[in-house]
């Protein structure tokens, strides 16, 4: 048990300090003809714009047309769940990517927002017939958020876009077998 915990701690440390935004485009399903919704929090705009830019670039690089990327802005990360729910209800998209940034402060607000948005996005994944990707940075400092939104640790928006393409493809394949 102790060795398993040690491996998990090493993996967590590795992932927290490693740029994981590089991907092999040959391993990504063809995204031509797919449509993606991106729900972007306006709070911590410098961070969320970096995430959006990374996601948009990855989608375009993998065959998604600019007009097939639908963006909806919401005031903060807590509102991402409602924005994603409304986007799914009112548009025809293959996947939704939620992008937000919550930075630890001196109060419990951080905990409530993080719990609420993660629970909400998780619930959407079981309620909707399309995947909803959790792209919310939950960092201790602004510098950590900068590093993960296009800085030295890559861009989690890019990673979310790749996850969205893969999940949308899986969803299409499984639904076509019905």
Active site residues: 109
Residues 6+ apart with CB under 8 A from 93: 35, 36, 37, 70, 87, 130
- Decide if 4 is inside a domain: no
Q: What is the pLDDT of residues 67-98, one digit of tens each?
A: 999 999 999 999 999 999 999 999 999 999 99
Q: What is the pLDDT of residues 33-58, one digit of tens each?
A: 999 999 999 999 999 999 999 999 99
- Decide if 21 is inside a domain: no
- Decide if 15 is inside a domain: no
Q: If you average pLDDT over residues 105-133, what whole number do you get? A: 93
Tally of domains within the chain? 1
- Decide if 58 is inside a domain: yes
- Decide if 13 is inside a domain: no
pLDDT for the residue numbered 109 = 87
* Alpha helix segments (H runs only) across 20-155: 45-61, 80-90, 109-127, 142-148
- Decide if 114 is inside a domain: yes
- Beta-sheet pairing, 154-155 with 149-151: antiparallel
- Decide if 153 is inside a domain: yes
pTM of the model: 0.87
Residue-number span of the structural domain to which 153 is assigned: 28-176
- Decide if 2 is inside a domain: no
Residues 6+ apart with CB under 8 A from 113: 76, 77, 78, 102
Q: How many helices and strands, by DSSP H and E, does the chain display?
A: 6, 6
Residues 6+ apart with CB under 8 A from 126: none
CATH code of the domain in which 67 resides: 3.40.50.960
């Amino acid at each position: 048990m102790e060795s398993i915990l040690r491996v998990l701690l090493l993996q967590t440390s590795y992932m927290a300090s490693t740029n994981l935004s590089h991907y092999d485009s040959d391993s990504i399903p063809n995204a031509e003809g797919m449509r993606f919704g991106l729900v972007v929090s306006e709070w911590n705009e410098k961070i969320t714009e970096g995430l959006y830019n990374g996601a948009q670039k990855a989608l375009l690089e993998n065959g998604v047309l600019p007009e097939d990327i639908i963006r909806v802005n919401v005031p903060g990360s807590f509102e991402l769940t409602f924005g994603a729910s409304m986007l799914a209800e009112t548009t025809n998209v293959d996947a939704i990517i939620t992008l937000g940034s919550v930075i630890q402060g001196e109060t419990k607000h951080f905990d409530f927002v993080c719990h609420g948005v993660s629970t909400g996005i998780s619930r959407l994944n079981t309620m909707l017939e399309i995947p909803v990707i959790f792209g919310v940075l939950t960092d201790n400092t602004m510098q950590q958020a900068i590093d993960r939104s296009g800085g030295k640790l890559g861009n989690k928006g890019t990673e979310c876009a790749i996850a969205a393409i893969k999940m949308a493809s899986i969803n299409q394949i499984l639904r076509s077998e019905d």
